[in-house]
Amino acid sequence: MSQDRLSSAPGPTAGKDPLSNREREMLPPMAGMDATAAAAQESAAATLGRLAGVTVAVPDPAATAAFLGDGIGFAVESLPGGDVAVRCEGDYGPRGQTAVVLRQAQGGAESQELLAITWEVADGYDFAALAVRAAEAGATTTETPAGGLALADPAGNPLVVEPAAAHTVAPPAPGLLGPRRLGHINVKSDAPPRSSAFFQRVLGLKLSEQIGDNLFFLRIGAEHHNLGIRPGERGMLHHLGCELAGWHAYQPILDRLAAHGWKVEYGPGRHVPGRNLFTYVVDPSSGLRVELFADMAQIADERGHEPVRWEAGDRMTKTINTWGPTPPASFLA
Ligand SMILES: [Fe+2]
């Protein structure tokens, strides 16, 4: 596919290996992994389900819920104990998705701190094998009440892998035109290459594209990315990627946000990695950033795809926006 839409200069390279040599050097020793890494990765990728949702600390859950509900169009439900569930259709099927759980930031917790990134798996998922891969990568696993495992990636992001049945909710009743689902998250790491390698080896995600050793885009299945990793403060969220039905869906949502006084931070535009339409909006009460995206690339031919690698200097000139404008400083913080 053609990535170089902004310049006639040389474009990206397609790597032969999903892990760069530098990534491999940064990994801790993993006994026996050389012989089994490919098979383990394939197995995990075949059985890891959708990104179920995230739990995020915010200073005022009700205010953030109003932004996500009244502004963007999520269904909002207060939970016992003070959390707020932010829900949407999810996967076009019979199950809804609790895309976000908003939790009151407690003493010392920073706004946008990630308290959990939850991934679903189907019946029969081999949790014991996950525990082995995690241990080989130096991560400790603990069992969750729902029968899954909790662990942390090298950047300290708390991860939860649980049976899909534990995350089944009824789809919200038809209402405001809003996001269909949480499609990806974009997290910060103090060692992006190491984090990328961890998600590939332990959770079985596949590398779709990277920009230098700074930005990594990884996928579960055919969708170009369900996880983005960028440099930044450990354990913090950069944005939630929420899918809209298409270009036509932006107008009512952005008009609704504007009616409340909530402005666009960056966009509209089209990224090169993922080739998706984007518009970023930010909840003023928490700083929570939501990417409204649509038209994400699908990698249907796994055998024919090799990870695309851009040079670090290509980010602003060739990858950030095929339509031109670069982001404000707030987006890059
Ligand atoms: Fe994104």
CATH superfamily of 47-167: 2,3-Dihydroxybiphenyl 1,2-Dioxygenase, domain 1 (3.10.180.10)
Query: Which uninterrupted H or E stretch holds 61?
Result: helix 61-66
Q: Ligand 1 centroid vs 145 CA: distance in angstroms?
A: 31
* 287's tokens: 């700083």
* Amino acid present at 296: M
- Which residue has 């789809």 as its token pair? 171
Residue 59 contacts residue 73 (beta carbons within 8 Å): no
- Residue 35 has a pLDDT of 46
- Residue 160 has a pLDDT of 97
> What are the φ and ψ backbone dihedral angles of 21, each rounded to 5 degrees?
-60, -35
Q: Ligand 1 centroid vs 124 CA: distance in angstroms?
A: 31
> What are the φ and ψ backbone dihedral angles of 302, each rounded to 5 degrees?
-60, -40
Torsion of CA 302, 159, 21, 16, to 10 degrees: 0
- Residue 42 has a pLDDT of 53
- Residue 256 has a pLDDT of 97
Q: Ligand 1 centroid vs 36 CA: distance in angstroms?
A: 31
Domain covering 19-26+178-332 assigned CATH 3.40.50.970 in the classification: no
How far the first Cα of the chain sits from its last, in Å, is 31
Q: Return all residues near 206 (Cβ < 8 A) that are at least 6 apart.
A: 18, 41, 45, 200, 218, 219, 220, 302
Q: Near ion ligand 1, which residues have CB within 5 Å?
A: 186, 241, 291
The tens digit of pLDDT for each residue in 212-245 reads 999 999 999 999 999 999 999 988 899 999 999 9
Q: Ligand 1 centroid vs 237 CA: distance in angstroms?
A: 11
Q: Ligand 1 centroid vs 20 CA: distance in angstroms?
A: 23
- Residue 69 has a pLDDT of 97
Q: Ligand 1 centroid vs 30 CA: distance in angstroms?
A: 31
> What are the φ and ψ backbone dihedral angles of 171, each rounded to 5 degrees?
-60, 145
19-26+178-332 and 47-167: identical CATH topology: yes
Q: Ligand 1 centroid vs 143 CA: distance in angstroms?
A: 30
Domain residue limits, the chain:
19-26+178-332, 47-167
Reduced to 3 states, what is the DSSP secondary structure of residue 251?
helix
Residues of the chain with pLDDT under 70: 1-47, 108-110
Q: Ligand 1 centroid vs 169 CA: distance in angstroms?
A: 25
- Residue 13 has a pLDDT of 56
* 7's tokens: 């310049």
The tens digit of pLDDT for each residue in 272-284 reads 999 999 999 999 9
Report the C-alpha gap between 274 and 165 in whole angstroms. 29
Q: Ligand 1 centroid vs 281 CA: distance in angstroms?
A: 12
